[in-house]
Amino acid sequence: MIKDKKVINYLLYAIGEIILVVIGILIALSINNSNELKKTRDAEKVYLKEIKSDLIQDTLLLSQVIQDHKWRIAQLMSQDSTIEFINEEIIGKLPKVEGVSELEYIFFTDRKFRPKIGTYNSMISEGKSNIISNRELFNTMQNIYELEVQNIIAIGEDVLNRSTELKNKYAYEIRYGDFGSPIKITDKRILADIYISSRELNYYTRQSVLLKKNITGLIKLIDIEYQSMQKND
């Protein structure tokens, strides 16, 4: 009986020790998981903060692009009163222009949207897209960066290429033509190209305005998410 009692006591002691070890391991794992989660959330906040900073810069650049191209559209329309200004409800009113001093300025443009996408691209290339815990927010971000922004970049390239083509096409007229001052174009070939350029710039400006609006909305969503994370820390 005494031996049986000792064995039972030993077994109970051993079981108690095992339970304590298991509890210790679980606590350690819980602490480790909490630390890892905090590191992940801290990294997420850094990404959100830097992406927001990039997006703010993008809105400033888009504002410049929009203003420059509204001025260009107004210059083109000053040469042909039959050109219809479409998308005014989105783009807004055009500035008043007194005229254009030289033909070259009609075809000149070098302002295009060059987005700051370094932070987003870094997150994607490093396989860290899952670090954005709010998947709806990430999906919105992904749509803007990978669809809308890329679309604007492509349109901007087309606009710039067309500008270069037209300057080359009318190099003789630019150099030797006499169109008065301010210029008044009557050459139907040039007017036809002005019409096409105005439509292209109109579309580019419209898409730029819509992109700026969507980016501004994304910035607000990032602010809401960041503030929510701060409260939960």
Which own/partner pairs from 160-164 qualify as long-range (CB within 8 Å, at least 24 positions apart)?
A: 160/109, 160/110, 160/112, 162/197, 162/200, 163/107, 163/108, 163/109, 163/110, 163/197
Please report which residue ranges of 78-86 form alpha helices under DSSP H. Answer: none
pLDDT at position 62, please?
Answer: 96
pLDDT at position 33, please?
Answer: 55
Residue type, 203: Y
pLDDT at position 181, please?
Answer: 81
> How many Cβ atoms from other residues are within 10 Å of residue 227's Cβ?
10
pLDDT at position 135, please?
Answer: 93
On whether the pTM is more than 0.85, the answer is no
Q: What is the pLDDT along the chain (233 residues), one digit of tens a residue?
A: 555 566 566 666 666 666 766 666 666 556 555 566 677 788 899 999 999 999 999 999 999 999 999 999 999 998 888 888 888 899 999 998 877 888 888 877 767 888 999 999 999 999 888 899 999 999 999 999 999 999 999 999 999 999 999 999 999 998 888 888 888 888 999 999 999 999 999 999 999 999 999 999 999 999 999 998 887 76
Give the separation between CA 20 and CA 10, rounded to whole angstroms: 15
pLDDT at position 100, please?
Answer: 82
pLDDT at position 202, please?
Answer: 94
Q: Which of 188, 195, 182, 187 is nearest to 105 (CA)?
A: 182
Q: What is the pLDDT of residues 51-88, one digit of tens each?
A: 999 999 999 999 999 999 999 999 999 888 888 888 88
